[in-house]
Structure 1
Amino acid sequence: MKKLLLNLCLISFLLIVPTVIYSQDYTKCSDFKYGKFTFPLLPEGSGYAVRDENYQISYIGNGEKQLVWEIEWIDECRYNLILKEIYSESNHWTKGDKIEVEINSFKNNCYGFKSMLTAKFLSEPSIIYDMMCKENDI
């Protein structure tokens, strides 16, 4: 009887713990769906992005709008950005270029991600690892 009870406890533990761990990350991704974001790996003041339900808008350091991306959320931690508008003539992007993003780590108010760029200026898709940090609500 003790052995059966011990086995049931062990099975319950093995079923519940992964669910709790997964749900914590799942909830964390949703914290980064909207807001103002900076790129800490770039020189300070080089730019930021503002994201709402449908779009992510990229700005350079002085606040000048550069790119407007449509967002397609695949799930809580993966989304696609499709370029819709270009405001800078000195830009190498083309309307329709796409970035596939997968959030894969968290630290404080930042998340790490892996992205795959598919753009006309690239001879083949390019994979980039980077980080974005969310500023206080705007």
Structure 2
Amino acid sequence: MKYIKTISLAVLFLGVSQMNAQKKATDTQKKETAKQKQVDNPTKCSNIKDGTFLRVNYPKNLWYMTVKDNVQTEYYNDGKDHIKSSIVFVDDCNYKLIVLEKTEEANLIKIGDVFSNKVVATQDNYIKIQSKIDNDQFDLVLIKAKTK
């Protein structure tokens, strides 16, 4: 009988300690969620108008982009190839890209192609863009490289 009481007491303490551990984990998750920065409100669409941009999880030698004086140039293949487009802003957050030149013949993008882009969200130096051409749509997350 003494063993049953001891085991019951041990199980009770184990259950209480497990509940405390779960509560601490939940509290930690809540604090971490609260620390995560919210998206900019309003969206800072002007961030796309000038600078050097990288794609999230892409090394710079694979792809990067510059925007200056309403010209967007995307570099890839270690900067050996590029696609240059003219930027026409429809409003602060919407713009069209008109492809002016490209260096790689095998690339499916053609001179004269028009992309409709929209800045849908920003957060610090991150920019989420929705891009459409014909019936295709895709989302890009870019990070604006810091200037020295």
The answer to whether TM tops 0.5 is yes
* RMSD, aligned α-carbons: 2.0
Report how far residue 110 of structure 1 moved. Answer: 0.8
Give the drift of 1:61. 4.6
**How does 1:8-27 map onto structure 2 within 5 Å?**
25=42
Aligned mate of 1:66, from 65, 73, 82: 82
Q: Which of the residues 132, 144, 147 maps onto 1:134?
A: 144
Aligned to 2:59: 44
For residues 121 and 68 of structure 2, what CA distance do their matches in structure 1 show?
Answer: 21
> Aligned with 2:90: secondary structure?
strand
- Listed as ranges, the matches of 1:1-138 within 5 Å are 25=42, 28-41=44-57, 43-45=58-60, 46-118=62-134, 125-137=135-147
- Percent same amino acid among aligned pairs? 23
SS at match of 1:115: strand
How far the C-alpha of 1:112 sits from its partner, in A, is: 0.8
Give the Cα separation in 1 of the matches to 2:48 and 2:130.
Answer: 15
Worse-superposed segment, 67-76 or 128-137? 128-137
One-letter amino acid of the structure 2 residue matched with residue 52 of structure 1: K
- The structure where helix makes up a greater share of residues is 2
- Figure out how many residues of one structure are paired with residues of the other and give that number: 108
Q: Calculate the TM-score normalised by the size of structure 2.
A: 0.66
Contact 1:113–1:130 (8 Å) recurs in 2:
yes
User: What is the rounded CA distance, in whole Å, between the counterparts of 1:63 and 1:129 in structure 2?
Assistant: 23
Calculate the TM-score normalised by the size of structure 1: 0.70
TM-fit CA distance, 1:48: 0.5
Q: Extract unaligned runs of 5+ from structure 2.
A: 1-40
Structure 1 unmatched ranges of 5 or more: 1-23, 119-124
